[in-house]
Structure 1
Amino acid sequence: MAITDWPISERPREKLLQKGVASLSDAELLAIFLRTGITGKSAIDLARELLSHFGSLTNIFAAGHASFCQLPGMGSAKYAQLQAVLEMARRALGEELKNGSALNSPDLVRNYLRLSLANKHHEVFIGIFLNTQHHVIATEELFSGTLTQTSVYPREIIKRTLYHNAAALIFAHNHPSGTAEPSHADKTLTHDLKQVLAMIDVKVLDHFIVANGTTLSFAEHGLI
């Protein structure tokens, strides 16, 4: 049955307008994005197939071009639209983050990092440089590596910190093949960076690990 044959109150677009976006399921949100179905399948059917195939919205956003386009009803145009939506959300969060204190917006920082790292298939190490009021000066991808590891060089971090004249830093990296639990190496690195940066009077406020749609904060777990 086509969505246009459903009762008006059950159609995703009308439901959103009447009850708000939070009332929609993941499949209903995807259906609005997809707009139309294909022969024998509604947009909702296609949305459910996407979720079933990839497992979650996070995995759909992280899907590569080839794997996304191999599914019925998908293609380069839909993939480009999806990536544009993701980038607009990332930029909007980045703008909001720059306008406020990072310490007063931990959920905003978490969401920004989740969107920034969700589609990375290799490890990357990010630095968020802050001024004395903990407003964001810049966000940089400092290092990148393989699926399971990346090399981080404190000397380069110090150089970028001095370049931005930053007073504080938030670090983040992803675990593409694992969970958001910190390894012994992650804890040691964070401790070493905190000590090194303290020598130039710069504070390390937090270190986030992003994996499988979840985010762990070192500060919230008493690890920093």
Structure 2
Amino acid sequence: MEKNIHAGHRERVRERFMEEGLDSFKDHEILELLLYYCVRQRDTNALAHKMLKEYGTLHDLLEAHPRDIARRCKVSLNTATLISLCVPLARRYMNGKWGERPVLNSSFKAGEYAMTLFAGRIYEAFFAICLDSQNRVNHAALVHEGTINEAPVYPRLIVETALRHKASSVILAHNHPGGSLKPSVADIEVTKKIYAALKSISINVVDHIIVAGQNYTSFAEQGLIESIAHQF
């Protein structure tokens, strides 16, 4: 009897999603629905509440590592992996909306594009966005993970990336998971080094985008790229 009650509840939640979407769902209800597809013989409502209590928010749960979720929430690695897939899948979706080779011919477009690269990333990462002569994206290469202070981004690696992807120009982009949009001294110094390295092979750095959450700042808009260019 208990199994039939849960089966009916699951069906009602699925029907609600198909009719209304997720907008009216609470966080625990979203997680409960997701858990239907990996947890069969367990009350997913109670499990959803337990997992949210463990991490505090749905946001923090979705960004956690699968092994950490499995350990802390006492769920299988399959269940933890499904949950952890949500954020990178959303990032792939958002990036895919730009098409295969979007044109980034303004700081606004560069900033909007860069935000899709960093969606859901909880650690600092550094991208070199390689553009052709028409400002179309040849490739967005993840060249480094970790803070600039802890492990410098090597200009040689950026040069190799730009040459490999036949870049006419490059947009640098990294994120500040802590939320600050202000360029640090390390941000500016590494930009100078990369600018000089690429200039030596006739490739321009046209911008450096810093992403923090749903916001970004552009070195080009702030005049920092022009200021760096005048030093060489």
Is the pair's TM-score, using the shorter chain for normalization, greater than 0.5?
yes
Q: Contact between 1:128 and 1:136, CA under 8 Å: does it hold in 2?
A: yes
Q: CA deviation at 1:148?
A: 6.0
Question: What's the counterpart of residue 156 of structure 1?
Answer: 157
- The residue identity in structure 2 corresponding to 1:92 is Y
- The answer as to 2:44 corresponding to 1:43 is yes
Per-residue CA shift, 1:169-214, capped at 9, x if unaligned? 23233456x444432211332344345545524233332245xx55
- The residue identity in structure 2 corresponding to 1:204 is V
**CA distance change for structure 1 residues 112 and 144 in 2, over 3 Å: closer, same or farther?**
closer
Structure-2-length-normalised TM-score: 0.69
- The answer as to 2:25 corresponding to 1:20 is no
Separation in 2 of the partners of 1:68 and 1:195? Answer: 44
Superposition RMSD in Å:
3.6
* Number of equivalenced pairs: 212
3-state SS, counterpart of residue 171 of structure 1: strand
Q: Contact between 1:37 and 1:73, CA under 8 Å: does it hold in 2?
A: no
Q: CA deviation at 1:128?
A: 1.9
- The residue identity in structure 1 corresponding to 2:209 is H
Separation in 2 of the partners of 1:74 and 1:6? Answer: 19
- The residue identity in structure 2 corresponding to 1:28 is E
Structure 2 matches for 1:80-119, cutoff 5 A? 80-97=81-98, 98-102=100-104, 103=106, 104=109, 106-115=111-120, 117-118=121-122
Q: Contact between 2:172 and 2:205, CA under 8 Å: does it hold in 1?
A: no
Per-residue CA shift, 1:81-118, capped at 9, x if unaligned? 23444443343344433342245474343123224x33
**CA distance change for structure 1 residues 208 and 57 in 2, over 3 Å: closer, same or farther?**
farther
- The answer as to 2:143 corresponding to 1:139 is no
Question: What's the counterpart of residue 217 of structure 2?
Answer: 217
Q: Contact between 2:62 and 2:83, CA under 8 Å: does it hold in 1?
A: yes
Q: Pick from 189, 203, 208: which aligns with 2:205? A: 203
Please tell me whether Structure 1 or Structure 2 has the larger radius of gyration of its CA atoms.
2
**CA distance change for structure 1 residues 72 and 4 in 2, over 3 Å: closer, same or farther?**
farther
**CA distance change for structure 1 residues 72 and 153 in 2, over 3 Å: closer, same or farther?**
closer
Structure 2: stretches of 5+ with no match in the other structure: 226-232
Separation in 1 of the partners of 2:147 and 2:111? Answer: 28
Separation in 2 of the partners of 1:154 and 1:110? Answer: 23
Q: Contact between 1:125 and 1:150, CA under 8 Å: does it hold in 2?
A: no
Q: CA deviation at 1:78?
A: 0.8
**CA distance change for structure 1 residues 3 and 204 in 2, over 3 Å: closer, same or farther?**
farther
Structure-1-length-normalised TM-score: 0.71
Separation in 1 of the partners of 2:141 and 2:192? Answer: 20
Structure 1: stretches of 5+ with no match in the other structure: none
Per-residue CA shift, 1:155-175, capped at 9, x if unaligned? 331232122221232323345
